[in-house]
Amino acid sequence: MLFPVGIVGFRGYSGVEAVRILSKHPDCEPVLLEHRADAGEDAKLLRKSGVRRAPSTAESVKAEGLKAVLLATPPEVSMDLAPKFLEAGAIVIDLSGAFRLQTGDRYKRWYKEEHTAPGLFSEAVYGLPEYTREQVRGARLISNPGCYPTAANLAIRPLVAAGIVDLQAGIICDAKSGVSGAGRKASLKTSFCEVTENFSAYSILNHRHVPEVLQVSGIEEAQFSFTAQLIPIDRGILETIYFRMAQPVSSAEILAIYEKQYAEEPFVRLYQSPHVPDLHAVCRTNFCDIGVVADPATGRCVVVSAIDNLVKGAAGQAIQNLNLALGLSETAGLR
């Protein structure tokens, strides 16, 4: 007997990935919740797949017996649907930025619009299992982290906590992402000829994912320089993180900090210095891979953190959170 799990936004890149994972999940099965914007794409295959479909309504939650619903939708849609699905009794896992920032003011500053469901901030749990596992286990509303912050926080937080970062000099996070991070909608900026054989920076010092890093890693905006950049590939995020060491230590000592933090984590992997991960190592997996090159003689340190933006950065982490919330094995469907 499989738990039926609803997915709104199942035609977007994160949604497709969530359906893919749930279709192979040992304990869950996907139910596609049709939203009005979903119309118009016909199946081309002669015989249809057997995936269940239902309207994207609170009634469907009850009629289909949905234990949980994943919202792979823009923030404004999530703010509209989350209260309805919660009231209908489903656990809601929201992949948008709607419930990540803790207050309506902060949301307004970074998302440039009013928050329409601020009453839900108090019960929204930020679902980064490596740090909030216990809260996720009992949560009804889980806010799935952004893709860039997931790679950044897993690399930065243990080092800040260990006190080895010179915060005066600041932390630089030079982030690069595949194009699927921009979502699946027609746009000149993400059209093939504009992206291929190109590389471009955007939202310099101004990206809406920045406050998630500040919240989780406990640093100030003035101490953190973040640039997002577009790689001409489909998926994957690689972040090159630079800082000066408050106390010069070796690569091995930094790896020891990570090992202590992540020894039991199923989805964090570490590299022997000077090896660092590339995107092929993590694509189509739920891993976050981390490598370090430190130069104690000069105090310079470089950390490379890599994830698949659609898996650990979106749908995979959402299923990881789903597993925790439903009391299943945390790695079910993700290995």
* Per-residue x/- track, 224-263, its own copies (CB under 8 A): -x-x-x-xxxxxx-x-x-x-x----------x---x----
Distance CA 161, CA 215 (A): 13
Distance CA 135, CA 120 (A): 15
Interacting stretch for its own copies, rule CB under 8 A, among 39-47, 53-61, 64-72, 130-138? 39-47
Candidates 122, 138, 280, 327: give the one binding its own copies (CB under 8 A).
Answer: 280
Q: Within 84-143, which residues bind its own copies (CB under 8 A)?
A: none
Interacting stretch for its own copies, rule CB under 8 A, among 2-10, 60-68, 135-143, 269-277? 269-277
* Closer to its own copies by Cβ: residue 62 or 298: 298
The catalytic residue among 147, 173, 288, 301 is 147
Token pair for residue 130? 């490596």
* Closer to its own copies by Cβ: residue 21 or 86: 21
Q: How far is the CB of 184 from its own copies (least distance, A)?
A: 7
Q: How far is the CB of 238 from its own copies (least distance, A)?
A: 5
Q: Within 284-313, which residues bind its own copies (CB under 8 A)?
A: 284, 291, 293, 295, 297-300, 302, 304
Q: Within 168-207, which residues bind its own copies (CB under 8 A)?
A: 168-170, 172, 174, 176, 178-180, 184-188, 190-201, 204-206
Q: How far is the CB of 210 from its own copies (least distance, A)?
A: 11
Contact 317, 265 (CB under 8 A): no
Which residue type sits at 193? C
Distance CA 206, CA 110 (A): 8
* Closer to its own copies by Cβ: residue 1 or 297: 297
- Cα atoms in the Cβ-side hemisphere of radius 13 Å centred on 188: 0
Token pair for residue 65? 């017996």
Nearest to 71, CA basis, from 143, 133, 123, 179: 143
Q: How far is the CB of 46 from its own copies (least distance, A)?
A: 4
- The answer to whether residue 283 is catalytic is no
Residues 6 or more apart from 4 whose CB is under 8 A from it? 28, 29, 30, 31, 52, 64, 65, 66, 67
Other C-beta atoms within 10 Å of 268: how many?
20
Contact 91, 326 (CB under 8 A): yes
Distance CA 257, CA 111 (A): 34
Distance CA 217, CA 240 (A): 16
Q: How far is the CB of 106 from its own copies (least distance, A)?
A: 17
Q: How far is the CB of 90 from its own copies (least distance, A)?
A: 28
Distance CA 107, CA 98 (A): 8
Phi and psi at 202, nearest 5°, equal -150, 160
* Closer to its own copies by Cβ: residue 112 or 327: 112
Other C-beta atoms within 10 Å of 11: how many?
18
| Using rule CB under 8 A, residue 39 touches its own copies | no
Candidates 46, 112, 122, 264: give the one binding its own copies (CB under 8 A).
Answer: 46
The SS3 call for residue 55 is strand
Interacting stretch for its own copies, rule CB under 8 A, among 61-69, 96-104, 144-152, 274-282? 274-282
The catalytic residues are 147
